Structure 1
Amino acid sequence: MATTVRRAVLSLPAAPLGPENPLPPLAAPGEAHRVDRARLGPLPDGMARGIGYAPLRSLLPVRRRDDYTRTRVPTDFDAVVIENDRLRATVLPGLGGRVHSLEHKPSGRSLVYRNPVFQPAGFALNGAWFSGGIEWNIGATGHGTLSVAPLHAARVPAPDGGEMLRLWEWERLRDTPFQVDLWLPDGSDFLYAGVRIRNPHHRTVPVYWWSNTAVPETPHTRVLAPADSAWHFGYERTLRKVAVPGQDGTDGTYPLGGEPPADHFYDTADGARPWIAALDESGRGLVQTSTGLLRGRKLFAWGAGATGRRWQEWLTEPGTGGYAEIQAGLARTQLEHVPLEAGGEFAWLEAYGPLAADPRAVHGTDWAAARAEAEARLEAALPRTQVDAAYAAWRPYADQEPKEQLATGSGWGALEAERSGFTLPGTPFTAATLGAQQRPWRQLWHTGTLREDGPEPGPSLVAPHWRELLEAAEPGPHAAYHLGVAQWHAGDRSQAVRSWECALRLGLGWPALRCLAAADAADGHRARAADRYAAAVGAACTAGASRAALSALGHEAAEELLAADRAQEAAEVLAGLPAATRARGRFRLLQARILLALGEVAAARAVVAEGLEVEDLREGEQALAEQLFPA
């Protein structure tokens, strides 16, 4: 059959995402993948520099996604299917461009782990993330902020004369546009992905990229890569070099061979062919390879311990089988960022397909022989020269303009393109995609005035060019509020406080009070923070704030009141929230902690005994028992 790109619908049991959290994330991101800087000394110079280069200080201008639930209902998702006579790939443009499934038709095998449900959990930098398939991570260390966001998608001409699917968006943490071109050459067993990240600015920007593939996991699944050592990273936040396949009787190339969840970043040799494979007991499975720029390779395994097993169930449902992650990145580890010079771009080609190797060699005790067998079978199935040739053939097509729009992403790229006049061939950010969230900022750009409808501010922009426009804007409550957010992001805390005080004087109310309270909390002024949070909740209730705003504000306020030893007031804030909000796991956990602070131990334990599911529990977060009953 000829290669086709067509629209489709994917039906899954799905938990609703809920609205964005409207409170700007002023606190530093609580990212689990961060190494203790005091331990950087023994690392290679280039790795240490990459880890120390431009770590993420803030989630701004991105909003958090933490209002999802764990109640799943049948849901239809718009999908795009890319298919030839060998492979079928199902892509979800509305969920970060995730390749949900990759099926090898001759063997009937699913090459990637296909999650039977859509269940958000707190793994992305900004919250909601889901497991399975192939995801594209850009921005900063961790699962990207576009994990559940819509991307632009369109048909474009492919290098072999057919069609390919282009996904693109404006990544807002680093202000960098990117694209992923997916295509299946006629008769090919490999899905190609041409990736490009561009820096249209007059300054160097830090870049992060890791392609993350979930693969089915059994006790006999082995992950192979061209390395004899790896950098091990776990939730203890240390990075240490370990032998591959393992030491002290533990073989780390089997995802179920270890106990705690951990990353293994393979120490691949410069110039070696980059690849990684996950093969089962029969020597069959998925292999991923690329051109040389994408040098990093990683295995993430949940391990065989109770914690890892529980997380697996949390992300899908019991009895569906587990998964491991094999990943490929621009740097040796995910803890590093890479500088991209002004006007420059990074581009490479990836390939995903089936691999069949001799199981006796793959699972033998001779690691060098196992590696060599897998690499030889890869070379036979897809020679390195063929990957390089496919990349060279794709490069002229990366600028081809889309033929037919299949899905629409956000309007933020269009706003930046209009403001800057950037020319980005192949990835049009058109005025037709501008929406209500961009309207006040477009008005600011054209008129010098920022006004919003209603008392609840929309998303803030914090890049230097927007901050300068806000500084020169016509005075007003919303302009002062957003200027404060931009100043806070830039590290100018005293000016941010002055701007929020101005917004409060001009009548903005609870949004300004909340920012002032968060600033007090960050600076250690607990009593004043508690006072302002309490006032903000009262003002929000009076002003008829949205449910999402009231829930997020109520949780922050109760937490701060609790920290200030004002548990009774925290209880009153909690009691004032809607019953449906109080029934959520995060709020019931907070209720138990408040009861404990009030000395009502039996009542606190009763809340826990009823069962707690904290929907937005973060990756690496401490056990609930430790939160409830600290030592």
Structure 2
Amino acid sequence: MSTLELSTVTVPAASMGPANPLPPLRRLRDFHAGLEAGVADAEMAANLEYGHVTSLLPYTLQDGYDRERLDTPLRVAVLDNGILRAEVLLDLGGRLYSLRHLPSGRELLHRNPILQPANLGLRNAWFAGGIEWNIGTIGHTPLGCTPVHAARIDRPDGTPVLRMWEFERLRELVYSVELWLPDGSPVLYAHVRVVNPNQEDAPLYWWTNIAVPETANTRIVTPADSAYHFTYDNVLHRIRVPVAGGIDETYPGRRGPAADFFYDLGDHGRPYIAALDADGAGFVQTSTAGLRGRKLFRWGTSIGGRNWQEWLSGPGAGYLEVQASPARTQLEHLRMPAGATWSWVEAFGLLACDPADVHGRWAGTRAAVGEALDALAPAEALDAALALATAQADEAPGRLLHRGTGWGALQRRLREHHGDRSLRFTGTPFGDDTIGRDQQSWVRLIDSGYLPTPAPELPPASYTVGPAWRELLEKAAAGASGNWFSWLHVGVSRYHAGDTPAARAAWTRSLGAQVNAWALRNLAVLDLLGGDLMAAAERLLSAHRMAPRLRALTVETLEVLIIAGRPGDALSTVDRLDQEQRWHGRIRLLECHAALDFGDLARAKRLLDDGIVVDDLREGEDALDTLWWTYHEKRAAAGIGPLDPAARVRIRREHPLPCLYDYRMHETG
């Protein structure tokens, strides 16, 4: 009998900490910049150029976590039919945390033994493991570390269905994921539905990202003869599958640097991807025709790749990712028409084949796996599941199980203020009862045209952007209720709209109404972007004196002081910090950098010898290895002047990078 229950799992987890209250004004990384994609056909080339996002707003960064892991109970929804047991993290993006095959006792996913956030997500915080539902833009979803709405509905035969849904604020799309385990089913079904409620086309980015255990004999099987290969050289290559350059790339755990492989499924039959072990068994994912893309990501076998896996999952818990998408590569956005609804069904389960077939010649491997998949999860069953899920998609939820964020409800109220009912959904409702503290001020702005004003020493809690919000904010600021806080938010709205001079004017008016650290900081970002490093440094120093305990502001201040060539001021700022900030890894890294620039090699040596652990080290960030070799080069150059290239090579040979500092994503550093 299939069941759906609420429970908890206890996991050693680091606290997410407070959200960063500073609006993320710096441009998002452009993954297309400098991309060489000559192998792309016309359709892919158009998708590569479409849908670029430059700002993370209205989201804020989630960078308040640390590395102190404590046993933490996490709320989960549990589906069980006696064959499979699925655990879903309701407070963390609806992540499918575990999928266990009960007869064998085998865990099919990488069930992470810890929960350690790291700087791999769009909003910074991301954690490894399970199956995540990526929507938004290139990168891990902004909703991966936030709660989702969840409810139970029932199929006509009584099978319980877990329905989860949320509102994605970058694209203003509504998405839902339904999970169910029919009686006797060897696969877990997932119905994904994305709705564009807008009057304009919207860029869609979706990847179902699945972490599975990795061994040296894990083979990735998918119906493809070629793939698009993307590495850190920013070039999209087209390679043969399985062997390219004399290496069988379908065994990702054997050798090679970190890399992405986007498989070209073409017309090779039903889409699927499997990760099968030495015994020919393992995880398989398949879908209806709506998901045409399949991907493999490997961390690689370099020291840096192994360190990243240990950072995210602890010792001995290596994993790789297999993924599925409506697009062929993760560098694309698809054009979703106004008012459109796209949906598909996926299935996940344990697939077993003769190991001789799995690890034999590619054509035979694909044939054997395809035959086993047809027996495990027939394509007709997925098509029927999609038809039934589509028919029930607008059915009102039965028992509400969990509450997500209030942003969908807030946006619904804003639209209804203008007579637009496009966010009223019966199947995935955004009710007023979901509105929380972060949305209350904005409800007041909608209802009364007034934005409640906190004390200036308190940082803003949230932001809204877009034409409708800007109109309300401009009216509030220009009217009798205009104050420093209204002008602060007007500036953010103008900046998001691309009107930088008008944003500067708004933040200047905010300062004129009431001196506050938040307008000073935002103006400093504009100074920095405009190349006026000294003005940026002075404004940040002033802002930091007003809010010295806000770590995010401390980090920005130190970064700009160093860039502006003022390492002495950076060190003096560090010396005045409270102990909690002094010992934070990112601040210790900046202190070491400033010490090297200032010529205080003894201070830099103490920091490096003690060990610098940067909680929010970014994927691909070279700060630690650069710091290590900069110190040794400066020490060697003391008294003799600049080093020639041969001397730099010798120093790197004599002072190899310690494992502690090696997070390089490619073998050559």
- TM tier, shorter chain? over 0.9
Report the Cα offset of residue 530 of structure 1: 0.8
Report the Cα offset of residue 35 of structure 1: 3.7
- SS where residue 210 of structure 1 aligns? strand
Residue in structure 1 matching 2:535, options 528, 541, 559? 528
Question: What residue is the counterpart of 1:126 in the other structure?
Answer: 123
Question: What residue is the counterpart of 1:20 in the other structure?
Answer: 19
Structure 1 residue 512 corresponds to structure 2 residue 519: yes
User: Alpha-carbon deviations, 1:19-71, whole Å to 9, x = none?
Assistant: 1011010001236xx24445234421111111111112111111111111111
Q: Is the 8 A contact 2:39 2:238 kept in 1?
A: no
User: Alpha-carbon deviations, 1:468-520, whole Å to 9, x = none?
Assistant: 22122232211111111111111111111011101111115110000000111
Question: What residue is the counterpart of 2:661 in the other structure?
Answer: none
Q: Percent identity?
A: 46
Question: What residue is the counterpart of 2:261 in the other structure?
Answer: 264
Residue in structure 2 matching 1:192, options 179, 189, 211? 189
Report the Cα offset of residue 14 of structure 1: 0.7
Normalised to the residue count of structure 2, the TM-score between the two structures is 0.91
Matches within 5 A, 1:320-335: 321-335=317-331
Question: What residue is the counterpart of 2:451 in the other structure?
Answer: 450
Normalised to the residue count of structure 1, the TM-score between the two structures is 0.96
User: Alpha-carbon deviations, 1:295-332, whole Å to 9, x = none?
Assistant: 1100001122211111110001113x311100001100
Question: What residue is the counterpart of 1:566 in the other structure?
Answer: 566
Question: What residue is the counterpart of 1:490 in the other structure?
Answer: 497
Counterpart Cα distance in 2 of 1:435 and 1:448:
19
Give the unaligned 5+ runs of structure 1.
Answer: 542-546
Q: Is the 8 A contact 1:63 1:459 kept in 2?
A: yes
Question: What residue is the counterpart of 2:662 in the other structure?
Answer: none
Matches within 5 A, 1:618-629: 618-622=618-622, 624-627=624-627, 629=629
Deviates more, 1:441-450 or 1:76-85: 441-450
Counterpart Cα distance in 2 of 1:425 and 1:351:
26
Counterpart of 1:325, as a letter, is: E
Counterpart of 1:244, as a letter, is: V
- SS where residue 187 of structure 1 aligns? coil
User: Alpha-carbon deviations, 1:71-90, whole Å to 9, x = none?
Assistant: 11111111110010111000
Counterpart Cα distance in 2 of 1:516 and 1:289:
50
Counterpart Cα distance in 2 of 1:286 and 1:620:
29
Deviates more, 1:176-185 or 1:243-252: 243-252
Report the Cα offset of residue 385 of structure 1: 1.3
Structure 1 residue 183 corresponds to structure 2 residue 186: no
Counterpart Cα distance in 1 of 2:623 and 2:538:
30
Counterpart Cα distance in 1 of 2:375 and 2:499:
58
Q: Is the 8 A contact 1:197 1:345 kept in 2?
A: yes
Question: What residue is the counterpart of 2:349 in the other structure?
Answer: 353
- SS where residue 361 of structure 1 aligns? helix
Structure 1 residue 205 corresponds to structure 2 residue 205: no
Counterpart Cα distance in 1 of 2:137 and 2:525:
24
Counterpart Cα distance in 2 of 1:45 and 1:476:
51
Counterpart Cα distance in 2 of 1:508 and 1:341:
45
Question: What residue is the counterpart of 2:288 in the other structure?
Answer: 291
Counterpart Cα distance in 2 of 1:30 and 1:313:
26
Matches within 5 A, 1:212-223: 212-223=209-220
Report the Cα offset of residue 146 of structure 1: 1.1
Structure 1 residue 602 corresponds to structure 2 residue 602: yes
Structure 1 residue 419 corresponds to structure 2 residue 419: no
User: Alpha-carbon deviations, 1:352-386, whole Å to 9, x = none?
Assistant: 0110112111101x211111111111011111111
Counterpart Cα distance in 1 of 2:359 and 2:268:
26
Counterpart of 1:592, as a letter, is: C
Question: What residue is the counterpart of 1:383 in the other structure?
Answer: 378
The RMSD of aligned alpha carbons is 1.4
Counterpart Cα distance in 2 of 1:452 and 1:241:
55
User: 1:604/1:159 Cα in 2 relative to 1: closer, same or farther (>3 Å)?
Assistant: farther
Question: What residue is the counterpart of 2:439 in the other structure?
Answer: 438
Question: What residue is the counterpart of 1:467 in the other structure?
Answer: 470
User: 1:301/1:162 Cα in 2 relative to 1: closer, same or farther (>3 Å)?
Assistant: same
Counterpart of 2:8, as a letter, is: V
Report the Cα offset of residue 338 of structure 1: 0.9
User: 1:270/1:482 Cα in 2 relative to 1: closer, same or farther (>3 Å)?
Assistant: farther
Counterpart of 1:102, as a letter, is: L
Report the Cα offset of residue 237 of structure 1: 1.9
Deviates more, 1:376-385 or 1:276-285: 376-385
Q: Is the 8 A contact 1:96 1:136 kept in 2?
A: yes
Counterpart Cα distance in 1 of 2:492 and 2:82:
53
User: Alpha-carbon deviations, 1:430-481, whole Å to 9, x = none?
Assistant: 1011111111111111111212333222211112211122122232211111
Deviates more, 1:83-92 or 1:439-448: 439-448
Deviates more, 1:270-279 or 1:614-623: 270-279
Q: Is the 8 A contact 2:275 2:283 kept in 1?
A: yes
Counterpart Cα distance in 1 of 2:111 and 2:166:
24
Residue in structure 2 matching 1:146, options 128, 133, 143? 143
Counterpart Cα distance in 2 of 1:161 and 1:296:
33
Give the unaligned 5+ runs of structure 2.
Answer: 416-420, 631-647, 649-669
Counterpart Cα distance in 2 of 1:38 and 1:101:
36
Report the Cα offset of residue 576 of structure 1: 2.6
Counterpart Cα distance in 1 of 2:164 and 2:453:
31
Report the Cα offset of residue 271 of structure 1: 7.4
User: Alpha-carbon deviations, 1:154-179, whole Å to 9, x = none?
Assistant: 11123542211111111111111110
Question: What residue is the counterpart of 2:640 in the other structure?
Answer: none
Q: Is the 8 A contact 2:507 2:522 kept in 1?
A: yes
Structure 1 residue 400 corresponds to structure 2 residue 395: yes
Q: Is the 8 A contact 1:593 1:628 kept in 2?
A: no
User: Alpha-carbon deviations, 1:408-449, whole Å to 9, x = none?
Assistant: 111100101122132222111110111111111111111112
Q: Is the 8 A contact 2:257 2:300 kept in 1?
A: yes
Structure 1 residue 252 corresponds to structure 2 residue 254: no
User: 1:491/1:270 Cα in 2 relative to 1: closer, same or farther (>3 Å)?
Assistant: farther
Q: Is the 8 A contact 1:12 1:117 kept in 2?
A: yes
Counterpart Cα distance in 2 of 1:340 and 1:508:
44
Q: Is the 8 A contact 1:35 1:238 kept in 2?
A: no
- SS where residue 147 of structure 2 aligns? coil
Counterpart of 1:352, as a letter, is: F
Question: What residue is the counterpart of 2:641 in the other structure?
Answer: none
